Amino acid sequence: MYKELALALGLGTVVALVFLKKRKSVLKAHDGWWGVGACHQGPEDDSIRPFKVETTSEEIEDLHRRLDQTRSFPSLEDSQFNYGFNSKYLEKVVSYWRNDFNWRKQVDKLNKYPHFKTKIEGIDIHYVHVKPKSLAEGTRAVPLMMVHGWPGSFYEFYGIIPLLTEPSSPDDITFEIICPSIPGYGFSEAPHKKGFDGVCAAHIFNKLMKRLGFNQYYVQGGDWGSLITTNMAQLEPNAVKGLHINFAPPGKAGLLMMLSILFGRRFPKLFGFTEHDVKRLFPTMEKLVVDAIRETGYMHIQSTKPDTAGRGLNDSPVGLAAYILEKFSTWTDPEFKNLEDGGLERKFSLDDLLTNVMIYWTSKSIISSMRFYKENFSKGLNQPHANGIGPRKKHPETEKAKKRSPHHPKYTECCLKMLNNKENIHRLLLTV
């Protein structure tokens, strides 16, 4: 008993010191210059230029030549996707890519919506801008920026854009959609200087919205898009009226978090856990740590030496596809790793999967997209937001988290109507 009491007092002292060291800070950003060479002197070119995705016979022939020269290597017997992308299924993907996939047709599909580019802080920013075809008298469209992550692209929003800009009911909200490519992704120019992180991207995207004439707007993001849109709200809380994210990391992994994992079961009140939290979190918390180690190898590589790993992916379309599509399998459902085909075609078509890969391939953006990991670090969240919790969520929320992000039926109903996707959007939470 005395040992436990001494341990509790010791832990309490450590936790108190951690809290005392914490300071509430205001996120700030300053204009940067990410272009080649020295900063351009004079006013910034704020022109907006129409852009079209294009391809050439030479580009397609080069792709086919590289696909034809792929060197196969057998997977281990009975390994499915447990060792990574299964070689047998990869052969099927490559065969379809080489013989059936029509890139020109997909380019036309990409150009279904208007594309633009504009230069901000020295680099070209690409975005898709879709306005409603018609609006009821006396109504206006709600501006909404949607930001992708890695290894995604602006293309991932193509399925939902018509649901948001052409609602089926007059009672539904009509949106005006802006889908930018993160600098270094897709058709946005990559930064030429070190240090371009989520705050820098957020600052540029806030500038983009103002350049488009929006003084107030809503933002949505997934994966890196969650960080960027969160930073947008922190930088411009008066401009960002609402924030929805479908990826909400618990925060910076510091001493307090590690202590909660190690001792939270024995001393729950010390870390703000209720008895209900303990039953739900443990052993889930320990399993989460193990899963994180097992599934985040890519992140450690990209956070340390992105250019080394990226070199091979930039030269090999098959290597690039395996690297990207394995994430679509594992992150859609962890159990898919036990299937020979990774379950990829259960949720996606090969055309859509390969179109996303082709955006990375043709823009030569895989290396610069991976650099974003090295440049970033986590930041807190101080702006009201809605967080999408899917059926495959990694861990349950604590009572403390519920108070920070309480369930809000009104917003849930609105967003469910808006998204029209009950399978992927299980619940929405709104921080107040």
Quick one: how far is CA 192 from the chain centroid?
Answer: 22
Long-range contacts of 423-428 (CB under 8 A, 24+ apart): 423/391, 424/388, 424/390, 425/246, 425/388, 425/390, 426/388, 426/389, 426/390, 426/391, 426/393, 427/388, 427/389, 428/244, 428/386, 428/387, 428/388, 428/389
Quick one: how far is CA 171 from the chain centroid?
Answer: 30
Dihedral over Cα of 277, 280, 286, 287: its sign: negative
Residue 25 lies in a domain: no
User: What is the domain count for the chain?
Assistant: 1
Band of pLDDT at residue 264, cut at 50, 70 and 90: confident
List, for residues 110-124, the tens digit of each pLDDT value: 999 999 999 999 999
Residue 39 lies in a domain: no
Look up the pTM and report it: 0.80
Residue 400 lies in a domain: no
Residue 265 lies in a domain: no
Task: Extract the tokens encoding 364.
Answer: 């030569």
List, for residues 389-418, the tens digit of each pLDDT value: 454 555 555 555 555 554 443 334 444 444
Quick one: how far is CA 53 from the chain centroid?
Answer: 22
Residue 335 lies in a domain: yes
The residue whose two tokens read 């993160």 is: 182
pLDDT over 50 at 322, yes or no: yes
List, for residues 20-53, the tens digit of each pLDDT value: 444 445 678 789 999 999 998 888 899 999 999 9
Residue 113 lies in a domain: yes
- What is the CATH classification number for the domain harbouring 350? 3.40.50.1820
Residue 9 lies in a domain: no
Quick one: how far is CA 341 from the chain centroid?
Answer: 24
Distance CA 427, CA 384 (A): 16
Range of the domain at 314: 48-248+296-383
Residue 256 lies in a domain: no
